[in-house]
Amino acid sequence: MEQIDAVLAGNRRVLARTISEVEDGGPDARALLGALYPHTGRAHVVGITGAPGTGKSTLVNALARAYRTAGQTVGVIAVDPTSPFTGGALLGDRVRMRDLAGDPGVFIRSMATRGSLGGLARATADVVLILDAAGFERVLVETVGAGQAEVDIASAAHTTIVVEAPDMGDVQAFKAGVLEIADLFAVNKADREGADRTVMALQAMQGAEPLEGTHKRSNVQTSFDPEKPGPQADGSWLVPIVRTVAPRGEGVEKLREWVELHAAYLHETGQRSQRETTQAKSAVMHILREQLLAALLARLPGGTGQLAAVVGAVARRELDPYAAASRLMSQ
Amino acid sequence: MEQIDAVLAGNRRVLARTISEVEDGGPDARALLGALYPHTGRAHVVGITGAPGTGKSTLVNALARAYRTAGQTVGVIAVDPTSPFTGGALLGDRVRMRDLAGDPGVFIRSMATRGSLGGLARATADVVLILDAAGFERVLVETVGAGQAEVDIASAAHTTIVVEAPDMGDVQAFKAGVLEIADLFAVNKADREGADRTVMALQAMQGAEPLEGTHKRSNVQTSFDPEKPGPQADGSWLVPIVRTVAPRGEGVEKLREWVELHAAYLHETGQRSQRETTQAKSAVMHILREQLLAALLARLPGGTGQLAAVVGAVARRELDPYAAASRLMSQ
């Protein structure tokens, strides 16, 4: 297919169009992803998340520049799960473009909420696949906001950076429950007062026993030695804390080096292929749910009228939703 | 079933246990919901959402008290989609309990994220059904945070109150995209400086043309007359803006009266039954997706080994996820 060849060759115009087609879920979306998929699996995917006000976007831009300086190509996906407004996303694009414009080794794309969050996480994963197939060696996925949406989207990343800033009140990661997903902490705006407190709060958090009811990552140690983060003798990973001042580029190369070290760690411990398997399973399950539902609805003897009748009976409380589902499935 | 009779009779201990069983998705969850479902559809469900710092929880408590004074029973569900920590939710429960403790006409329950957001929205809807069946006349669903999660959870409500507070920077609803879901605005902490600005910003927003790319609710007018909110001559609903000072109870009775007026408006215009149909369809679709997937996996000739083999091929890029799904479906 001509379009596929153009994407694989890195034709930017065709690449942008292909991403739009897949985002919109058009008739060719499935065939396009199927044809591109064998060419994926090479990019290292980095998720960057954190609360508004942490200077996350500036840090992502600085990290992209650091990768360019190091000679690697970079795709950037900025996801805003809190906003259905495309206006904001497009504005963000323009600000970014001014910074990294004209560099063929960088491709930037913004995405806003369309429909459900589950749909957004899936669409983000699809755009990652396309940039991966197009040959971008590193793909940075930036999510705005904090919460479960970020956790879901981060599941498509190999390395997740949680960004904090001083004087934001509580350390945000704690509140949002994103502590567990961090492979790296960046304390951005580290030239401000309070940076030491933020670093110490993160260190204390890593040393603390997990709260009741949280899941504990097997590769996070409970006895924390801040002197020796990164890969440990027992095979675990102690989350490094990197201080950055994004507008001046301070600490950004160090952050990039930690990402690369984490990438190597994932390869060596076999965790990268474990993550690939988890992501493959999640993708197959998602597609199965949607296609099984579509197939059932298509084969109902009474068509959409039959569905409407059953839904109406549920709305009138004559039938409970589980009984309704069983009835439709037995057709 | 003895348990069902106890729930319908309002036995609090059995009610709490039943909610836990349904939340946990235990073996009896489906039968319990099925048996309770015919007794649902009577409660008016009020969603209350807004950013952290708006004093939302205090307002919900004050609204619950206002309902008690008016002689109606109230269930309160506090949902925190940003936190997987049950600790926070339980603490919130205790703070609330101090306020409304010992009143048999009030039942309070907190829920934190379990698994996906989609799962949380579904679980919240199920708990609403249980409180409805148990005879609570009004169910208040409070969601903490702002964003798509709230939009999803609000879809289970008949009336949605978006809470703002002065001096929070931008009006939060705008950023979060929750403007479209508001049936009522509460400007809480209205004794603070800046309350007028917040009210005017909300009025301006309602008068403004929608941004490109947003969906426009058919029942929100574009020509705004702040003097006459509520039901309009043409059948639409102009979102009222109510000033409240929750700790002193100021404006709370007025807010309650607007909720009741909106409930009457939904009944009279037939929109309540439309919402019931939408919610019934969403519930049936969700259950169908999960049960169709479970049925497919159960009938695979190779069992879970076959699934693992296909997922492995996807992880190794030998098969794309869509082809994998097709292969499993054709078994």
Q: Interface pTM (ipTM) of the complex?
A: 0.79
Q: Which helix (H) or strand (E) holds B266?
A: helix B252-269
> Does residue B166 contact residue B195 with C-beta atoms inside 8 Å?
yes
> Does residue B160 contact residue B181 with C-beta atoms inside 8 Å?
yes
pLDDT in tens, A141-167: 988 654 555 666 667 799 999 888 886
Q: State how far the Cα of A205 lies from the Cα of A201, in Å rounded to an integer.
A: 6
Q: State how far the Cα of B199 lies from the Cα of B197, in Å rounded to an integer.
A: 5
Residue of B nearest to A86 (CA): B213
| Probe site for chain A from B85, B274, B299 (most A CB atoms < 10 A) | B85
Q: Is B285 in contact with A293 (Cβ distance < 8 A)?
A: yes
If one compares B96 and B259, the residue with the highest pLDDT of the two is B259
- With 0-12 / 13-18 / 19 or more C-beta atoms within 10 angstroms meaning exposed / middle / buried, residue A60 is buried
Which amino acid, B250?
E
Which amino acid, A160?
T
If one compares A114 and A207, the residue with the highest pLDDT of the two is A207
> Residue B273: which of A33, A315, A320 has the nearest Cβ?
A315
> Residue A288: which of B41, B82, B296 has the nearest Cβ?
B296
Q: State how far the Cα of B149 lies from the Cα of B147, in Å rounded to an integer.
A: 5
What confidence tier does A125 reach under pLDDT thresholds 50, 70, 90?
Answer: confident
Q: Is A288 in contact with B176 (Cβ distance < 8 A)?
A: no
If one compares B153 and B93, the residue with the highest pLDDT of the two is B153
Q: Is A329 in contact with B292 (Cβ distance < 8 A)?
A: yes
- Contact residues, chain A, for B25 at CB < 8 Å: none
Query: Which of A75-84, A283-292, B142-151 has maximum average pLDDT?
Result: A283-292
Q: Is B321 in contact with A284 (Cβ distance < 8 A)?
A: yes
pLDDT in tens, B99-130: 677 788 999 988 865 555 556 777 888 999 99
Q: What is the DSSP letter of B81?
A: T
- At a CB cut-off of 8 Å and minimum separation 6, what does A310 contact? A319, A324, A327, A328, B284
User: B22-29 — which CB contacts under 8 Å span 24+ positions?
Assistant: B22/B123, B22/B126, B22/B127, B22/B130, B23/B111, B23/B114, B23/B123, B23/B126, B23/B127, B29/B126
Across B132-140, average pLDDT:
97
| Probe site for chain B from A148, A215, A289 (most B CB atoms < 10 A) | A148
Q: Is B293 in contact with A276 (Cβ distance < 8 A)?
A: no
What confidence tier does B40 reach under pLDDT thresholds 50, 70, 90?
Answer: very high
- Amino acid B30: pLDDT: 86
In terms of DSSP H, where are the helices of A172-302?
Answer: 172-176, 195-207, 252-269, 271-299
pLDDT in tens, B198-224: 888 888 777 654 443 333 344 444 445
Instruction: Tell me the DSSP string of A78-146.
Output: EEETT---HHHHHHHHHHHHHHHTT-TTEEEEEEE--S-HHHHHHHHHHHHHHHHHTT-SEEEEEE-B-
> Residue B149: which of A38, A117, A320 has the nearest Cβ?
A117
Hey, which residues does B185 pair with through a beta bridge?
A: B162, B241
| Probe site for chain B from A79, A322, A326, A328 (most B CB atoms < 10 A) | A322
Q: Is A40 in contact with B317 (Cβ distance < 8 A)?
A: yes
- Amino acid B173: pLDDT: 46
> Residue A292: which of B212, B293, B320 has the nearest Cβ?
B293
> Does residue B37 contact residue B29 with C-beta atoms inside 8 Å?
no
> Does residue A266 contact residue A158 with C-beta atoms inside 8 Å?
yes
> Residue B311: which of A277, A296, A314 has the nearest Cβ?
A277
> Residue A287: which of B84, B281, B325 has the nearest Cβ?
B325
Q: Is A283 in contact with B41 (Cβ distance < 8 A)?
A: no
- At a CB cut-off of 8 Å and minimum separation 6, what does A290 contact? B289
- Amino acid B25: pLDDT: 78
- Contact residues, chain A, for B116 at CB < 8 Å: 118, 148, 152
Across A160-185, average pLDDT:
71
Q: Is B283 in contact with A315 (Cβ distance < 8 A)?
A: no
Across B310-320, average pLDDT:
95
Q: Is B147 in contact with A82 (Cβ distance < 8 A)?
A: yes
Q: Is B82 in contact with A311 (Cβ distance < 8 A)?
A: no
Q: Is A82 in contact with B177 (Cβ distance < 8 A)?
A: yes
> Residue B147: which of A40, A149, A213 has the nearest Cβ?
A149
Report the mean per-residue pLDDT for chain A. 82
- Amino acid A150: pLDDT: 60
- Amino acid A147: pLDDT: 54
- With 0-12 / 13-18 / 19 or more C-beta atoms within 10 angstroms meaning exposed / middle / buried, residue A232 is middle
- Amino acid A166: pLDDT: 87
- Contact residues, chain B, for A82 at CB < 8 Å: 146-148, 175-177
- Amino acid A295: pLDDT: 93
Q: Is A38 in contact with B277 (Cβ distance < 8 A)?
A: no
Percent of chain A with pLDDT over 70: 77
- Amino acid B16: pLDDT: 93
pLDDT in tens, B47-100: 998 776 788 888 999 999 999 999 999 999 988 655 444 333 444 444 555 567
> Residue B87: which of A211, A284, A290 has the nearest Cβ?
A211
- Amino acid A54: pLDDT: 83
Q: State how far the Cα of B22 lies from the Cα of B19, in Å rounded to an integer.
A: 5
Whether A28 has a pLDDT exceeding 90, the answer reads no
Which amino acid, B84?
P
Across A93-105, average pLDDT:
66
pLDDT in tens, B23-35: 887 778 888 999 9
Q: Is B288 in contact with A328 (Cβ distance < 8 A)?
A: yes
CA A100 to chain CA mean position, Å? 21
Beta strands in B71-223 (DSSP E): 74-80, 106-112, 138-144, 159-164, 184-187
- Amino acid B147: pLDDT: 54
- Contact residues, chain B, for A42 at CB < 8 Å: none
Q: Is B284 in contact with A329 (Cβ distance < 8 A)?
A: no
- At a CB cut-off of 8 Å and minimum separation 6, what does B51 contact? B145, B146, B168, B172, B176
